[in-house]
Amino acid sequence: MRVFVTGASGWIGSAAVDELQAGGHAVTGLARSDAAAAALQAKGVLVRRGDLDDLDSIRFGAANADAVVHLANKHDFSNPAVSNAAERAAVQTIGDALAGSNRPFLFAAGVAGLTQGRPSAETDVSPFNGPDSPRGGAENLAFEFADRGVRVVSLRFAPTVHATGDHGFISVIAAIARQRGVSGYPADGTNRWAAVHRSDAARLIALGLAKAASDDGAAGLTLHAVAEEGIASRQIAEAIGRTFDLPVASIDPTDVADHFGWIGTFFGLEMSATSTATQQLLGWQPTGPTLIEDLAAGAYSVRTPATA
Ligand SMILES: NC(=O)c1ccc[n+]([C@@H]2O[C@H](COP(=O)([O-])OP(=O)(O)OC[C@H]3O[C@@H](n4cnc5c(N)ncnc54)[C@H](OP(=O)(O)O)[C@@H]3O)[C@@H](O)[C@H]2O)c1
């Protein structure tokens, strides 16, 4: 298939592109910079230049592909309204471009806020609706296109898609531990985060595309890119402490925002999730290292994220 990938140069996107190419797909990637375009071209990806604000470019890319995998995100965590609006606009644009075509549309989502007091499952419907909600309510917006002839697939990633080179949440938390000289965890550290290795997440995307494209592909599918149901924030902090030889301490809830900055809100969230249904549906079995194994192996020892 000709697959249009937004965020093709990103952490998950670049691994997904490799997986799609290995599966024989011809990938076109959206690139907003010369550097991203060059990196994509170097591995044989066709480049469509454009930005998330350039909806004409996204529309053209989607309309001229057999399937779309949307992974780009502005990730403006200090001003989430900006990212949310862009996410909603991109989903609306891609959905409109694919309407009536029966083509697959896979897009990134998360597991935060889906349930209270238990791990989320694929059957849990997102409570987020409308432009002012997290991720701009894009998951529910996308599923509206399932009734308009689009094979919609929500890729709900665990809050950490980990591996060596990750610049996501765990990398930021590790950088804060090094800056502060203490590896902190919020409150009693019992809240849990689901996790998945980047290689497993990339494989899941390719399998999800194949499922959506197949004759029995469901019109609306929710997949959980989750290998580990939940790792307590205290365990994460302890593993970071061992990695960098730092003391480990509870951070009082009243000090969490000051200690961790913007990521404090996320680190204190319960974000556990299961993937039983996804594994059964796709025959997907995560095989990558666990988060704690990656931390112990030094996956977070090198890179200092610019966002920390
Ligand atoms: N990583 C995780 O742990 C995780 C967990 C849950 C959900 N997710 C979601 O999964 C998706 C992919 O995440 P990721 O970790 O791969 O993110 P990432 O590494 O930050 O990559 C983001 C991608 O979006 C592109 N991008 C950013 N701003 C753009 C703009 N204005 N116009 C066009 N492209 C733009 C980036 O291009 P450049 O290369 O030019 O910067 C990059 O290709 C996102 O929606 C994210 O929220 C990720």
pLDDT of residue 78: 87
What is the number of other CB atoms lying within 10 angstroms of the CB of residue 267? 26
Query: How much is the mean pLDDT over the chain?
Result: 96
DSSP state of 249: E
Which H, E and C letters describe 219-241, residue by residue? Answer: CEEEEEECCEEEEEHHHHHHHHH
Cα(133) to centroid(ligand 1), Å: 19
Say what the pLDDT of residue 307 is: 44
Q: pLDDT value at position 308?
A: 37
Separation CA 61–CA 71 (nearest Å): 14
Residue 215 has pLDDT above 90, yes or no: no
DSSP codes, 172-194: HHHHHHHHHTSEEEETTS--EEE
Nearest to 197 by CA among 240, 231, 245: 231
Residue 303 has pLDDT above 80, yes or no: no
Residue 143 CA, ligand 1 centroid: distance in Å: 21
Task: Read off the pLDDT of residues 55-76 as tens digits, 9 standing for 90 and up.
Answer: 999 999 999 999 999 999 999 9
Would you state the pLDDT for residue 218?
Answer: 60
Instruction: Say if ligand 1 is within 6 A of residue 73 CB.
Output: yes
- pLDDT exceeds cutoff 80 at 305: no
Opening angle at CA 73, ends 72 and 76, nearest 5: 160
Closest CA to 212 of 257, 150, 270, 274: 150
Joined tokens for residue 77: 């965590």
Q: How confident is the model at residue 306 (pLDDT cuts 50, 70, 90)?
A: very low
Torsion sign across C-alpha atoms 51, 56, 62, 68? positive
Ligand 1 mean position to 5 CA, how many Å?
Answer: 11
Provide the whole-model pTM: 0.97
Cα angle 188, 191, 193 (rounded to 5 degrees) comes to 140
Facing residues of 107 across strands? 70, 154
Rg (CA), the chain: 19
Structure confidence at residue 57 (pLDDT): 97
Ligand 1 site-directed mutation target among 73, 169, 197, most atoms within 8 Å of CB: 73
Q: Is the beta carbon of 159 within 6 A of some atom in ligand 1?
A: yes
Q: Report whether residue 7 contacts ligand 1, using a CB cutoff of 6 Å.
A: yes
Average pLDDT estimate for 158-177: 97
**pLDDT single digits (tens) 91-103:** 999 999 999 999 9
**Model pLDDT, residue 10:** 98
| Cβ contact 227:196 at 8 Å | yes
pLDDT digits (tens, 9 = 90+) for 280-300: 999 999 999 999 999 999 999
First and final C-alpha spacing in the chain: 38
Q: Which atom of ligand 1 is nearest to the CA of 33?
A: 40
Residue identifier of the C-alpha nearest atom 11 of ligand 1: 71
User: What percent of the chain shows pLDDT beyond 70?
Assistant: 96
* Span 116-143, pLDDT tens digits: 999 999 999 999 999 999 999 999 999 9
pLDDT over 90 (residue 219): no
